[in-house]
Amino acid sequence: MVLLSKRITSLLMILMLLFTFCGCDTDYLADTNNDIQVEVADNVVKDKSDTNKASEQESSSQSSGKPREDLEVEVAPGITSNYGLMRVHFIDVGQADSAFIELGNGQTMLIDAGRSGNASTIINYIKGLQYETIDYVVASHPHDDHIGGMATVLDSFNIGKMYMPKQAHTITAFTNMLDVIENKNIELYTAKAGTSILSSGIIDIDVLAPFADSDSNLNNVSAVVRITYGKTVMLFTGDAEKVIENQLLNSGVDADVLKVGHHGAGSASSSSFIKAVSPDVAVISVGEGNSYGHPHADTLAILNEVGADIYRTDEQGTVVVTADQNKKIRVDKKASTVKENAPPVVVPTPTEKIEDNQPSVSDNQSQVVYRTRTGKKYHRAGCSYLKSIIETTVSEAQAMGLGPCSRCNPPR
Ligand SMILES: [Zn+2]
Ligand SMILES: [Zn+2]
C-alpha cells in the first residue's frame, strides 16, 4: 500500500508539472473570464488605465494580507491555488452600512464605514483580523450612516485606493473625510458606472452605478459594486433605490450574495430587480427597532420568494460570508426565518391591508396593536417578541413613545 501511494504521489507530481508547462492554468483563467464577460453589459466599459494600475497594485501589495487560517469551506476542484477564499464581514453597525472584504488574494476592501459612533467598532474589528492596510475603500454615497466613521477609519489604516461618487455634501462627516484624504494623500477615484476597481482575471471588481454624478436624492448616487470571484458574484448596492435598480437590470446583476439595498427599505428591492439578482444569500444591514421600519415586509417577501436565505444584522449581529470561486458559500450564522417575520394570517383588524405597499399613517392610527408591560416596541398579534399582551392602538402606542417592532413590522 505504501509503495502504491508513493507511486500515485509521483504520478500526480508529474501530472502537475505537465499541467504547469502546457499552460492549463492559463486556459482555465481564460475560460473563467469568458463565463463572466457574458454577463457584462455593453454600457460597462472598463477603464483601461485604472485596470492597469489596479493590476500593478495587485502584484505589488501582497504584503498587506495574512495567511488564511480558517479554510473550512472545501475548495472546489479547478480552483487556482494562489487564491484562497473570499470572506465578507457585514459588520453590525446598527442602522448603517459597513462591509469589510478579504478578497482572497491577500488584499482587502471596505465598503462604507457606518456612523461616526461606529468607527471604533469597525477599526477594532479589522485590526482584530490582523490587517493594517485596506487596499480599496468605497464610500458608497455621502450619507452619515455610510461615511460617518470614514474619516477615523481612513486615519487608522494604510489606505490603497479610494472610490466615491462625485456628489459632494456639506455634512461634517463628508468634510472630515475629505480632510483625511487630503492629509494622507490617499489616491482618490470617481466611482461611476463603468469604473473598474480591480481586474485580475479571477477577481474583478466593477462599479455598476451611479449613472449620474449627482442627484437630489443622494441614495441614487450610491456606488453599486459587483465583485466577481471566479464564478461567484457578490453585489453591494449601497442605498440605491428602485429607479437605479431599473437602470441596472441590463448591467449583469445576477449575483450569489446581495447586500440588500437601503437597509431593506421599501424604496429599494423592486420585485424585478430582486428576481434579476436572484441571490442565494441576502444580507440586510439594519438597526434593531429602527424608526424607519426597515426592513420592509415587501423586501422580505420578495427575497423569500426568490429563495434567498436572509441574514439581518439586527437579528444575527455581524454576519460573515465565506465563498470559493465556484459558488460554494457558507455563512457563519443561522438565517432569519421569514415566516416568523411575516404578519400572522389572522389579525384582529379586518380593515388591515397587508398587501399595501406603504399604508398611509392616518389609516393606521386606530388599528389595534399590542405592547408588553415594559417593552419599547409595539407589535402585531402573534409576534414572537410579544411576551405579555396589552391591547392598544397605533396612535396610543406612538403617544407612549413606542416604536414598531422590527420583527413583525406592525402598522405605523
Ligand atoms: Zn443608508
Ligand atoms: Zn443613504
Cell 422590527 locates to: 406
- Say how many CA atoms lie within 13 Å of 244 toward its Cβ: 27
Q: Are 224 and 207 in contact (CB under 8 A)?
A: yes
- DSSP one-letter code for 150: H
The length of the chain in residues reads 412
Q: Identify the structural domains of the chain with CATH numbers, from first to last.
A: 70-353 (3.60.15.10), 363-404 (no CATH)
The Å distance, Cα 273 to ligand 2 centre, comes to 19
DSSP assignment, residue 117? G
161 with 132: CB under 8 angstroms? Answer: no
Distance between Cα 141 and ligand 2 center (Å) = 7
Take residue 209 and report the three cell numbers written for it. 452605478
Q: How far is the CA of 391 from the centre of ligand 1 (A)?
A: 33
Q: How far, CA to CA in Å, does 375 sit from each of 354, 364, 372, 387? A: 24, 21, 5, 9
Looking at all shown ligands, the one closest to residue 141's CA atom is: 2
What is the CB-side half-sphere exposure of residue 93 using CA atoms within 13 A? 32
Residues by chain with Cβ below 5 Å of ion ligand 2: 143, 219, 239
CA 6–ligand 1 middle distance (angstroms):
58
Residues with CB under 5 A from ligand 1 (ion): 145, 239
Alpha-carbon distance of 119 to 127, in angstroms, equals 12
Compute the chain's Rg from CA coordinates. 23
The rounded Å distance from CA 224 to ligand 2 centre is 13
Q: What is the pLDDT along the chain (412 residues), one digit of tens a residue?
A: 444 444 544 444 443 433 333 333 332 223 333 332 222 222 222 233 333 333 333 333 333 444 334 434 444 444 444 578 999 999 999 999 999 999 999 999 999 999 999 999 999 999 999 999 999 999 999 999 999 999 999 999 999 999 999 999 999 999 999 999 999 999 999 999 999 999 998 999 999 999 999 999 999 999 999 999 999 999 999 999 999 999 999 999 999 999 999 999 999 999 999 999 999 999 999 999 999 999 999 999 999 999 999 999 999 999 999 999 999 999 999 999 875 444 444 434 443 333 333 333 445 666 777 777 677 777 776 666 655 566 677 777 777 777 787 767 777 7
Amino acid type, 87 = R
CA dist 24 and 18 (Å) reads 9
Residue 28's Cβ-count burial label (10 Å; 0-12, 13-18, 19+) is middle
Phi then psi for residue 185, to 5 deg, are 55, 45
